[in-house]
Amino acid sequence: MKEFKRCPRCNFKTPSNMARCGNCGLNFEKFNSATNEEAKSAFRMGEKERILYSKQVPSDINKGQIFLMCLFGGWFGLHYFKLGKLWRGLFQIVGFAFAFIYAYFAVQQGIRNGYLGNLILVCGIIWVASFIIWITDAISIIFNRFKYPVSLPYSVKIEKMENVKLNNDDNIKKGE
């Protein structure tokens, strides 16, 4: 019986004895040297194309620590900030700030109708969304379903299929 593994870049099923993904050509051995620290620097430099999402826990990340951060601080995105995903972390903070507004107006003042009522409803939906993300993440981390942002150091670049050939004919046609 053959064993398979999923490519962390394209999710393609490849026999586990293969060195490269059969679909996108990712070199699995090189990928093992990918770290979250590199992904964070890629996020900071705005180089999103260098970031991959891996269900394999990166070597510089302690799964237990991420789980605890998510469990106790996930409602304000603590595990996202730790992994460098600042926008997702901010969404969590905003979601729970909205939750507070929702709770205040809906419970204290009993508003149900009109413009303000709708606004409160939207707050409630965002609250539920951020709550679901929090719980889902905690479960995903335990069962190795969570996707960690990782990147390779510059010295071990991921090969990219890039068409760098310039077609002068296109420019001529546009100029006419």
Task: Give the binding site for Zn ion (CB under 5 A).
Answer: 7, 9-10, 12, 21, 23-24, 26
Nearer to Zn ion, 27 or 136 (CB): 27
- For residue 20, the minimal CB distance to Zn ion (Å) is 8
**Which of these, 128, 40, 147, lies nearest to 86 by C-alpha position?**
40
Report the SS3 class of residue 165.
Answer: coil
Q: State in angstroms the smallest separation of the CB of 17 from Zn ion.
A: 16
Q: How far is the CB of 28 from Zn ion (least distance, A)?
A: 9
Closest to Zn ion by CB, 8 or 77 = 8
What does the DSSP 8-state code read for residue 125? H
Tokens representing residue 41 in the block: 């620097």
Q: Residue 160: count other Cβ atoms within 10 Å of its Cβ.
A: 9
What is the nearest approach in angstroms of Zn ion to the Cβ of residue 51?
15
Q: Cα–Cα distance between 171 and 149 in angstroms, integer?
A: 39
Task: Please compute, for residue 49, the number of CA atoms within 13 A of its CA located in the half-sphere on the CB side.
Answer: 6
Q: Which residue number, 28 or 131, has a Cβ lying nearer to Zn ion?
A: 28
The smaller minimum CB distance to Zn ion, of residues 21 and 78, is found at 21
Burial group, residue 114, by CB count within 10 angstroms (0-12, 13-18, 19+): exposed
